[in-house]
Amino acid sequence: MTNIKFDTSALKSFVKTNELNEIKPMLNTARDELVNGTGVENKMRQWMTLPTDYDQDEFTRIKKAAKKIQSDSKVLVVIGIGGSYLGAKMALDFLHDNFYESMSEDEREYPQVVFAGNSISGSYVNDLIKFLGNKDFSVNVISKSGTTTEPSIAFRIFRELLVKKYGQAEANKRIYVTTDAKNGALRQEVNENGYESFIIPDGIGGRYSVLSAVGLLPIATSGADIDELMKGAADAQEHYMNTSLEDNGALQYAAYRNILYRKGYTNEILENYEPNLRFLAEWWKQLAGETEGKDEKGIYPSSANFSTDLHSLGQYIQQGMRNLMETVVKIDQHKSDIDVPVTGDNNDGIQYLEGRTMNYVNDKAFQSVIIAHTNGGVPNMVVSLKDQTEYSLGELIYFFEFAIAVSGYLNGINPFNQPGVEDYKSNMFALLGKPGYEDLKKKIEKDM
């Protein structure tokens, strides 16, 4: 048993039983390519066994580093972009209260974790510097190459701030580097300055890296239990790698979304009914988009936060183009609840809800949307999660990673590369005058 239930009861009018049976041989082939390493780019499958086969010594050092940061810093600035920040941000929002980041220093038990290097906005960086003020802080810079533009700029800025505030020797003790084991610009800086460092394994791409040091150090620093996180992922690994389609929600999810895709449902909306799950969708969008969007194929990943977005996107989902499918992540046991107050009047028209809990109303909204959208021609799938604990999050991370990787092989593409990402970078380097891009710059200027 897992803490995740995959519900396809709302797909009855969209997918017939024979269709699942007919895709099963292809699904099993895709699964075998992933599990047995017979598919393309099989060297990038290290994430699959990471929950049970990780460096125990490094894991201990991660927890020790988190405790040091907790003891000497009010803020941890995490510098990274894409998979180097989305997983950690997703986990922090998922595991903590909605206003965790807004607590005062007196209320906060653990350091505030903030992010930089995930954009090129000078305004954002200046606002962050202003926020830091005189607060004690440390930096965790995350980059495999150490030369990615956005985090490289941010690291220069915040490293300089550390040196100005603490001096070189103390600044070096407040810099934590997560990078390649042997190569790259950051590894060279580690060797030169003695920074505490952690490894991004060679066989794990950024979008699959949250359960490595990439995500674990920020998550641990926030006060979350990374032992439970890894335990949930380890149990998910055992379950999803070793059970057949009939009992395997991740394989079912991969199968149904591909059946629907082949019918013209080319856009998938990941939805939730809890505001602190917004970054779960942002993480999932990179996971799905970078894994599947190649060779002019792939399901386009989008997201919505209900009931909020029902008042902005609801009309389109209900009656717009019929190329949408929806996957809802639903929490069964909420962190807390509150009753609708009893006032004795009905001026606001909600007297009929008096004494009900808000979560009860939210659940009825969820049920109502499923009915309305399926009646409107939008297929719906539901991933029900028991609760918002570290254990459940570990399971959920593995559920999506496994399902999306299988889905990539099922669609006949390489799930583990992202060649298109480099195109905009080359153009940007050329326009900025980076050495080696002179010919491209001339071509761009000629075409402009």
Active site residues: 290, 425
Closest C-alpha among 163, 242, 233 to residue 195: 163
Q: What is the DSSP letter of 357?
A: B
Residues 233, 28: Cα–Cα separation, whole Å:
22
The rounded Cα 206 to chain-centroid distance in angstroms is 10
Taking every pair of Cα atoms in the chain, the longest distance, rounded to a whole number of angstroms, is 75
Report whether 178 contacts 184 (CB < 8 A). Answer: no
Q: Tell me which residue of 250, 254, 227 sits closest to 62, measured CA to CA.
A: 227
Q: Are 382 and 7 in contact (CB under 8 A)?
A: yes
Residues facing 300 on adjacent strands = 267
The dihedrals phi and psi of 324, each to the nearest 5 degrees, come to: -105, 145
At 115, which helix (H) or strand (E)? strand 112-116
244: nearest Cα among 69, 86, 16, 24: 24
Neighbours of 218 (CB within 10 A): 32
CB 116 within 8 A of CB 125: yes
Any residues with CB less than 8 A from the CB of 157 and at least 6 apart, and which? Answer: 116, 125, 129
